[in-house]
């Protein structure tokens, strides 16, 4: 996580560095612009994170004001005594906000054209227009979410599906795994899902990545954390939206670690064991216990809509290993934690597993790779609608 500091240090950093005539610039060919973002991550009742990129290296910060106010504060990223600069990817934390309050923000940046030990040259200065967002209402009785999965780099399908749900009414969008097929190009998260998210909603509302087995593949898989927020440095976590608790779990790879496809560089069995210990603790916290509704979002379900080999004395077929492990490690905890519903994907086909159909004390909705879920949570019920690419409603049910 990157820390942030506000107006004084940002002001000092921007104006107190040694300036050299811009004619000494080493990069004057391209116009300096914001080329990706902004997009919000981890919005809570008291803060959010603003992510964005610039076309070349610079020093950037965010200006923030309450909607209708002229009092502007400045926030920039700060780590270990150094204000972040001479970078293109920016993650700026906004803190100290008021719950259920509307804010406006904009991006400000100045290109750094030369950076030497005692010499720094600035180039172009740029500022975005004003965007707005609202902090979470920690007393809200009703919450709404979007859940989509298995897009496999198809940004056009993702955009089309988003058009079928009322994004303006959503608190967050959950990208429930396999949004990418495998991660091999630095621009891929932007072209796959971030740029579309920015165009459709992410300047105002956050998206949350639930990592799928395909996001763990490719030479850049270990860099995904640079593009998305991970609470406490993990891809799993607890998200609170008023009286609704959303547990995001990371099911990991779908085959056992010694499978030949992984070449001995995965440890997802150990990772799921560690996650299970965290899960045992988080379901006992006051915020989870006192929630009126409890939702689980996980890419790989504990059951595939058909019997799964959960006999740990026998090696499961490769594709079933993760289902077995999710069942063995997570389900005993979840079955005793008053969960209202689970949402999964992975199988590329719809399935509705009713309560008690297997060893489950709550219903499980498995979405296919061609549909989007609209979820409304109230103290009385959780209502789920599923729309396909043509906007046809595939499910309309209260749980």
Instruction: For the chain of 399 residues, list the mean pLDDT of each consecutive stretch of 10.
Output: 53 46 45 98 97 98 96 96 97 98 98 96 97 97 98 98 98 98 97 98 98 96 96 95 97 91 94 98 98 98 59 48 93 98 96 94 96 97 98 96
User: What is the model's pLDDT at position 305?
Assistant: 52
Q: Residue 4: what pLDDT?
A: 54
Q: What are phi and psi of 106, to 5 degrees?
A: -145, 160
At 170 the pLDDT is: 98
* Token couple for 245: 């608790």
Long-range contacts of 383-387 (CB under 8 A, 24+ apart): 384/341, 386/350, 387/161, 387/164, 387/165
| CATH 2.40.30.20 applies to domain 3-134 | no
CATH number of 143-398: 3.60.21.10
Domain boundaries, the chain: 3-134, 143-398
Could you give the C-alpha distances from 267 to 22, 194, 248, 365, in angstroms and in order? Answer: 50, 28, 20, 28
pTM of the model: 0.91
How high is the pLDDT of residue 319?
A: 59
pLDDT of residue 13: 52
How far apart are alpha carbons 240 and 257 in whole angstroms?
A: 33
């Amino acid at each position: 996580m990157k820390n942030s500091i506000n107006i004084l240090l940002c002001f000092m950093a921007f104006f107190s560095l040694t300036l050299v005539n811009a004619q000494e610039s080493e990069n004057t060919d391209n116009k300096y612009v914001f080329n990706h973002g902004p997009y919000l991550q981890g919005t809570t009742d008291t803060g959010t994170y603003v992510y964005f990129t610039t076309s070349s290296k610079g020093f950037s910060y965010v200006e923030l004001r309450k909607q209708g106010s002229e009092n502007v504060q400045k926030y920039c990223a700060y780590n270990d005594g150094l204000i972040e600069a001479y970078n293109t990817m920016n993650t700026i934390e906004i803190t100290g906000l008021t719950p259920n309050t509307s804010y406006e923000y904009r991006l400000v940046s100045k290109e750094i054209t030369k950076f030497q030990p005692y010499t720094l040259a600035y180039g172009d200065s740029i500022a975005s227009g004003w965007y707005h967002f609202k902090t979470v209402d920690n007393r809200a009785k009703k919450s709404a979410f979007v859940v989509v999965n298995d897009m496999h780099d198809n940004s056009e399908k993702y955009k089309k599906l988003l058009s079928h749900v009322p994004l303006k009414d959503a608190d967050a969008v959950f990208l429930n795994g396999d949004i990418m097929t495998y991660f091999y190009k630095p621009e891929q998260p932007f072209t796959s899902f971030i740029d579309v998210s920015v165009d459709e909603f992410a300047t105002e509302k956050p998206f949350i990545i639930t990592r799928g087995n395909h996001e763990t593949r490719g030479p850049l898989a270990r860099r995904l954390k640079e593009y998305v927020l991970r609470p406490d440095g993990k891809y799993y976590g607890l998200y609170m939206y008023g009286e609704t608790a959303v547990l995001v779990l990371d099911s990991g790879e779908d085959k056992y670690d010694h499978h030949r496809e992984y070449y001995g560089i995965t440890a997802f069995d150990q990772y799921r064991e560690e996650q299970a210990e965290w899960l045992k603790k988080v379901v006992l916290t006051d915020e989870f216990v006192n929630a009126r509704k409890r939702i689980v979002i996980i890419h790989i379900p504990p059951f595939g809509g058909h019997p799964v080999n959960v006999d740990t004395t026998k090696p499961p077929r490769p594709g079933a290993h993760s289902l077995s492990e999710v069942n063995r490690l997570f389900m005993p905890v979840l079955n005793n934690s008053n969960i209202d519903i689970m949402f999964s994907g992975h199988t590329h086909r719809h399935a509705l597993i009713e309560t008690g159909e297997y060893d489950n004390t709550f219903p499980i909705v498995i979405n296919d790779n061609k549909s989007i879920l609209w979820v409304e949570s109230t103290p009385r019920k959780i209502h789920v609608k599923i729309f396909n690419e043509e906007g046809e409603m595939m499910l309309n049910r209260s749980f």
